[in-house]
A and B are shown apart, each in its own frame.
Chain A
Amino acid sequence: GKLSLGEGLEKHPLENRWALWFFKNDRNRAWRDNLHLLTKFDTVEDFWALYSHIQLASKLSSGCDYALFKDGIEPMWEDCRNKHGGRWLVSLAKQQRQSNLDRLWLETLLCLVGEAFEEYSEEVCGAVVNVRTKGDKIAIWTSEAENQPAVTFIGRVFKDRLGLSPKVVIGYQAHADTATKSNSFTKNKFVV
């Protein structure tokens, strides 16, 4: 039969409403002024409609970010849902932009909208992809860095869903440590 998208066909609701943010680096403007809310969605269908109409991460200019966060949480450390939290960080080699970045970012998005972290999904605030010349990064942000059971569960699921080799180690960094670091390295609070 022919697929009908007419009246009476209900969309599949997500557990959360999500907001997609875009950051474009302009050194002449304040960091906050470079951050733009693109749109919000709360169904499977609207997620794909959005995903199908925006640039792939690998096509963004260096210095740009996408951030997908639960509605009501801004993608910055200062937000009350983020400030005691941290992030699982996956750093990619330069050559992985073409081979892996889009697949890994989509997998990250599917983890979020599908609520892949079971009873710990409520701890998830959002995810960020940073497109950078020196190497792209993908991170999942959680709300409480001291919640070890939740953080480590989320990290294990995230690593598994990305299909990373068991030999690869990813680290979780508290935003408080990242914000106060004196050099470019932030200590890992947990690793998986």
Chain B
Amino acid sequence: EKKRYDREFLLGFQFIFASL
């Protein structure tokens, strides 16, 4: 199965990184 991620999912990880 192809690994596809929508923008909201990807952006959620940005905020995790920003808060560390």
Contact = CB atoms under 8 A, between A and B. Distances in A.
B17 A49 contact: yes
Interface string B1-20: 01111110111011011101
Contacts of B9: 114
A44 B5 CA distance: 9
Given A48-B17, A52-B17, A52-B18, A12 B5 contact: yes
A44 B16 contact: no
Interface of B: 2-7, 9-11, 13-14, 16-18, 20
Contact of A114 (B5, B16, B18, B20): B5
Interface string A124-143: 00000000000000000000
Interface of A: 3, 5, 12-15, 44-45, 47-49, 51-52, 107, 110, 113-116, 118, 121, 161
Tell me whether chain A's interface is mostly helix, strand or loop, or mixed.
Answer: helix
A161 B18 CA distance: 23
Contacts of B18: 52
A45 B6 contact: no
Contacts of A13: 3
Nearest to A16: B3
A113 B17 CA distance: 17
Given A44-B13, A45-B13, A49-B17, A15 B4 contact: yes
